[in-house]
């Protein structure tokens, strides 16, 4: 962001970081990931303050479980991944894991002029997962 600041300022651009519900809530077994996402959320807020005088907005999205290759790449085989997605139907109040388009729509909104009065926000896009206790 610091390196891009002059170009962002010239265009009155915006930054949208991709964080996670793990940045907002504590869950067992993901200590390093959750710590990194929490740090990204704080970076988003601090950068929003630093870049606001330049007319640059900085926000973040915090997705819940989203159907991507992230979990497969973490070592889950297909059966484990299928079970994980099935369980996500009970851990997310809206009853399903997210789709990439769910997250992409929020990113597009935050990057657009329609969100021109928003900066420093970390927006859960997680089917309500951030509202629940870890389980």
Catalytic annotation present for 81: no
Q: Which of 9, 30, 33, 132 is catalytic?
A: 33
* Contact by Cβ (8 Å): 44, 89: no
| Structure-block tokens of residue 42 | 């704080």
d(CA 135, CA 110): 30
* Contact by Cβ (8 Å): 116, 21: no
Sign of CA dihedral 110, 115, 120, 122: negative
Q: Which residues are catalytic?
A: 33
């Amino acid at each position: 962001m610091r390196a891009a600041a002059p170009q962002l300022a010239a265009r009155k651009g915006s930054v949208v970081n991709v964080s996670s519900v793990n940045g907002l809530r504590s869950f067992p077994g993901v200590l390093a990931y959750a710590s990194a996402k929490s740090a990204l959320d704080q970076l988003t807020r601090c950068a929003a303050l630093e870049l606001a005088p330049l007319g640059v907005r900085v926000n973040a999205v915090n997705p819940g479980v989203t159907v991507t290759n992230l979990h497969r790449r973490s070592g889950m085989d297909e059966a484990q991944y299928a079970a994980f997605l099935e369980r996500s139907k009970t851990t997310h109040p809206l009853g399903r894991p997210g789709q990439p388009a769910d997250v992409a729509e929020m990113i597009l909104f935050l990057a657009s002029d329609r969100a021109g009065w928003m900066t420093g926000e970390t927006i859960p896009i997680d089917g309500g997962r951030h509202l629940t206790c870890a389980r």
